[in-house]
Amino acid sequence: MSPHSMFPADLGRVTAGPPVGRTVFRRVLGFARPYRAMLIGFVATIVFAAVVQLAPPLLFRQIIDQAIPQANIGLLHVLAALVVGAAVIDAVLSFGERWWSSRIGEGLIYDMRVMLFDHVQQMPMGFFTRSQTGALVSRLNNDVIGAQRALTGTLGAVVSNVIVLVTTLIAMLILEWRLTLLALALLPVFILPAKRVGRRLAAITREGMDVNASMNSTMTERFGVAGALLVKLFGSYRRETEAFAGRAARVRDIGVRSAVYSRTFLIALTLVAAIGTAAVYWVGGQLVIADLITLGTLVALAAYVVRIYSPLTSLTNARVDVMSALVSFDRVFELLDAPNPITDRPGAVELVEPRGQITFDHVWFRYPVADGTLASLEGDVARPAPSPDVPPSWVLTDVTFEVTPGTTVALVGPSGAGKTTMASLVPRLWDVSDGVVRFDGHDVRDLTQESLRHAIGVVSQDPHLFHDTVLANLAYAREGAQPAEIEEACRAARIHDVIAALPDGYDTVVGERGYRLSGGEKQRLAIARVLLAEPAVVILDEATSHLDTENELAVQEALRTALVGRTALVIAHRLSTVVGADEIIVLDAGRVVERGRHTDLVATGGLYADLYRNLAAEPTTAT
């Protein structure tokens, strides 16, 4: 029975969440819960500092109203010393406030960055095939750094300014309530523009981050060895520079707009604050002349007015900064919320002492539409929305077979027949749409992904090597592997002599994706890595298709050692890899059309026989 009805057709890409606002802010506070004790210390330091900062204006008031009129030199000395003492205490508290804020902010960002890295690593392959690497890196770097600055700078400043504002207003009301109300009369002028400007700058900030991510993607692709080679071979320098300049121009224009908005807003607020201060001196001066308040009180109030308007300006501008900063959090949360369709089931068990039995039981598969991909990570590449009435076509159709432990099974068929897809279902890089893939009798979905993949080694057509030493690339297969074990694996893979001849031996840096090594050398290094991992199953995906005869023979010799006592799934066009298999499964359009040993399949005169004749007619050396 075709399981069409079992596959939801109305699933699409994950899109961006709701606009930045209270939900994001509450979620940020949720991340801060483990730091509650530090937050209490941080707030207590700010409160203490705010109280200490109230002292100098009051001390100046005493100097003007008492020490100077009374010519009391002793009192003047004491008051001046107290002013200096308050400044020293304020400096120490300022240092403590910064220490608390950095500990909280850096700790929270550490948690978020690790969580984000872990989440991205576990995403399915469809997520990586559709996401731009540069955009992903931008999320983990630029956006997380933006969130970090918000926590260690903006949010800390908001708390500090609120406390300073409240304590200063209380002190002003105690000194002279009329001048305090006059100073507050201009408060609506600070608050009303903030909401509109904040929203506008948040939108500009998001646009700037998207364009920066696009630039990062361009640089990641073009500055890689393969990308740089392609640009050089096609002589596309001018075209690449023009495209990059277009994106850079957008970043420049966004930066100018953002700076103009912020500066205009700040200038307007500073002007209002200057008017407010002048009004206090104007009205307060008349009260002093009328002998209703003392000169010292007016000076203290004028100092406090500056302390009111300064945090008011910062707080009003902070709304702009916070709204812009929350965009960073929103983009981080968008990635954290991207669903992962391939996860360990509740109660998943460890695969213990794997034997290497593989069973495909009526397996149907088609690539899912919903794979956790975010539209914002795909850059400017447009992808049409999936039609609910037209589900994706089937890649595999009712595939059933069993691989006995220790045997070699070859998967053969035309390009696009589903061979690589079938092999990818075994380590659960994808989940079946219907049917079951079993490993040692267990549904692979009932096993933990980590234990399942530890039991499987893969040598692909173009094995990936990290930009690191040969030793580090080999040791990646098994943490804690001893040098003797690594050398033994390399000798078995027929690659030790090649490594020993390199300039720095096992400490030679292989370059990005191993570009310092030839194709055959990379293949044998990948085989050594698999041998070091000691898997029960080895999957060879076109491992010799691009090699010349000499390299192919070396790799084949290494493979004979690698496959001893192990189950092997071999995807190959080269006859030398196929003819010795214990069983050959022939696929066509996602269906198993033939199966058997080489001689039997050739004798039947079917699809395999046709492929055999075509391959036998091709040259045996790569050009």
The count of domains in the chain is: 3
* CATH code of the domain covering residue 437: 3.40.50.300
* Same-domain pairing of 503 and 581: no
Q: Please name the amino acid found at residue 336.
A: L
Which of 534, 550, 577 is the last residue before a domain boundary? Answer: 534
Instruction: Please check whether residues 477 and 622 belong to one and the same domain.
Output: no
* Together in a domain, 446 and 482: no
Considering only residues 593 and 221, tell me which one the structure prediction assigns the higher pLDDT.
593
Do 501 and 565 fall within a single domain?
A: no
Same domain? 583 vs 593: yes
Q: Same domain, yes or no, for 483 and 577?
A: no
Q: Which of 484, 499, 534 is the last residue of a domain?
A: 534
Of 534, 568, 598, which residue is a domain's last?
A: 534
Q: In what order do the strands lie in the sheet with 442-443?
A: 396-403, 358-365, 434-439, 442-443
Evaluate whether residue 11 is within a structural domain: no
Paired with 569 in beta bridges are 409, 539
In a domain, 15, yes or no: no
In a domain, 260, yes or no: yes
Domain-located, residue 621: yes
In a shared domain, residues 200 and 311: yes
In a domain, 342, yes or no: no
Confidence check: pLDDT of 69 > 50: yes
- Verify that 104 and 34 share a domain, yes or no: yes
Q: What's the predicted TM-score (pTM) here? A: 0.70
In a domain, 370, yes or no: no
Whole-angstrom distance, CA of residue 2 vs CA of residue 551: 44
- The reply to whether 585 and 524 lie within a common domain is no
Query: What residue numbers bound the domain in which 63 lies?
Result: 22-336
Q: Which pLDDT band holds residue 12 (cuts at 50, 70, 90)?
A: very low
pLDDT digits (tens, 9 = 90+) for 582-598: 899 999 989 999 999 98
Would residue 594 count as lying in a domain? yes
Q: What is the pLDDT of residues 120-131, one digit of tens each?
A: 888 887 788 777
At 549 the three-state DSSP class reads helix
Look up the CATH number of the domain holding residue 284: 1.20.1560.10
183 and 76 together in one domain: yes
Answer yes or no: do 272 and 414 share one domain.
no
User: Residue 384's pLDDT band (boundaries 50, 70, 90)?
Assistant: low
Which stretch of 192-201, 475-484, 515-524 has the lowest confidence by average pLDDT?
192-201
Helix (H) or strand (E) holding 188: helix 187-223
Closest CA to 336 of 374, 307, 299, 304: 374
- CA distance linking residue 568 with residue 408, whole number of Å: 5
Give me the mean pLDDT over the 26-34 stretch: 79
Of 405, 411, 399, 401, whose CA–CA distance to 585 is shortest? 411
Q: Using DSSP, state whether 465 is helix, strand or coil.
A: coil
Whether 619 has a pLDDT exceeding 60, the answer reads: no
Cα–Cα distance between 215 and 243 in angstroms, integer? 10
The stretch 125-146 carries a mean pLDDT of 77
Residue 414 maps to a domain: yes
Q: Which of 194, 192, 207, 345 lies closest to 265 in space, CA to CA?
A: 194
Q: Does one domain contain both 118 and 218?
A: yes
Query: Which amino acid type is present at position 7?
Result: F
